[in-house]
Amino acid sequence: MTDCLFCKMANNEIPVDLVLETEHLMAFRDINPQAPQHVLIIPRVHVRSLEDLEPGQEDLAGTLLLAAQQVARQEGFADRGYRTVINSGHDGGQEVQHLHVHVLAGRRMQWPPG
Ligand code: 5GP
Ligand code: ZN
């Protein structure tokens, strides 16, 4: 997807504050953090949203979750805890149309979420 912001980041066309990088995904700091630590994990392939993930992409889904665990350990907040969020579609509050997992930490999270 040539006009997708996160595809451009995944292709190193736009610089990011990198946290983790593998063959299949990239993790970088959110430009507008909603917690003291706020990391986004994206697949390198363009998937519009969780709603567009297909059977056969179970490995990708699992890899994204395990990356959240790895980010938490690497960044030092695994023990205190963290929140993972995937916003999907209009009502889910998704603004960037490329699947991403938010990893938020560094403060006590609220429930219910906004
Ligand atoms: P969504 O609302 O789609 O779940 O989350 C999109 C996230 O992408 C937001 O938290 C927003 O701050 C972040 N974001 C949007 N543009 C950029 C950017 O250019 N760089 C980075 N690092 N994050 C961005
Ligand atoms: Zn994309």
- Count of Cβ atoms closer than 10 Å to residue 49 Cβ: 17
Backbone angles phi, psi at 33, to 5 degrees: -65, 135
How far away, in angstroms, is 31 Cα from ligand 1 center?
Answer: 6
% residues pLDDT > 90 (the chain): 97
* 100 labelled catalytic: yes
Answer whether residue 65 shows pLDDT above 80: yes
Task: Work out which ligand 1 atom sits closest to the CA atom of 94.
Answer: 3
The CATH classification number of 5-105 equals 3.30.428.10
Q: Residue 33, preceding bond cis, omega within 30 degrees?
A: no
- As given in the structure block, the two tokens for residue 111 are 């429930």
**Strands of 25-29's sheet in order across:** 18-21, 25-29, 37-43, 101-105, 83-85
Mutation test residue for ligand 1: of 3, 9, 30, 100, the one with most atoms within 8 Å of CB? 30
Q: Is 84 in the pocket of ligand 1 (CB under 6 A)?
A: no
Answer whether residue 114 shows pLDDT above 80: yes
What average pLDDT does range 25-54 have in this prediction? 98
Please give the pLDDT value at position 18. 98
CA distance 61 to 108: 26
